[in-house]
Homo-oligomer: A and B are copies of this chain.
């Protein structure tokens, strides 16, 4: 039976509860549902004028993406997961545009008859999404001088090395 894969790349928000309900709707063969949600943290950026001691709260996260490739990269990762594990449904949502602290950024949901398959596939999709899907984060804050400051988030080598275990 083909795995039901649904991918969305969107500016709008999403409701993880509604996504769970959709993953479960008329799905009596899969007893296991694993989900991951990534949210904007209330992080800080260094004020470039004043140094690290003058950190400012980030008011907005700007998410840039590569339209077209973003969708196809996520679909490719989902298909790879569907080949590796016995899954029923895969749902991936990734937002772009301006996001505020607490906002949902990404959702990955997988269903399976087997708990370990659903959890492993969910972790696998997140790991590959982090290093292979064309999205870029920029933190935007306001300094003491009232000026807007922004900086691109640096890729972490731990994300690349996370792929080695799969």
Residues of A within 8 A of B (CB): 15-18, 20-21, 24, 27-42, 101-102, 113, 115-116, 118-120, 122-123, 126, 130, 162
Question: In the complex, A20 Cα to B16 Cα: how many Å?
Answer: 7
Contact A40 B31, beta carbon cutoff 8 Å: yes
- Secondary structure at the A interface, as helix, strand, loop or mixed, is mixed
**Which residues of B are found within 8 Å of A123, using beta-carbon distances?**
116, 119-120, 123
Number of copies: 2
Closest Cβ–Cβ distance, residue A106 to chain B (whole Å):
10
- Which one of B17, B37, B115, B162 lies within 8 Å of A33 (CB-CB)? B37
**Which residues of B are found within 8 Å of A30, using beta-carbon distances?**
39, 41
- Which one of B15, B102, B119, B130 lies within 8 Å of A126 (CB-CB)? B119
Q: CB-nearest residue of chain B relative to A23?
A: B37
Question: In the complex, A133 Cα to B116 Cα: how many Å?
Answer: 18
Contact A38 B32, beta carbon cutoff 8 Å: yes
Contact A24 B36, beta carbon cutoff 8 Å: no
Closest Cβ–Cβ distance, residue A110 to chain B (whole Å):
10
**Which residues of B are found within 8 Å of A35, using beta-carbon distances?**
34-37
Closest Cβ–Cβ distance, residue A38 to chain B (whole Å):
6
- 12 CB-based A-B contacts, threshold 8 Å: A16-B17, A24-B39, A28-B42, A31-B40, A32-B36, A32-B37, A35-B37, A36-B118, A116-B162, A119-B119, A119-B123, A120-B123
Contact A31 B24, beta carbon cutoff 8 Å: no
Instruction: Pick from A17, A113, A120 the residue with the most CB of B within 10 Å.
Output: A17
Contact A38 B126, beta carbon cutoff 8 Å: no
Contact B41 A29, beta carbon cutoff 8 Å: yes
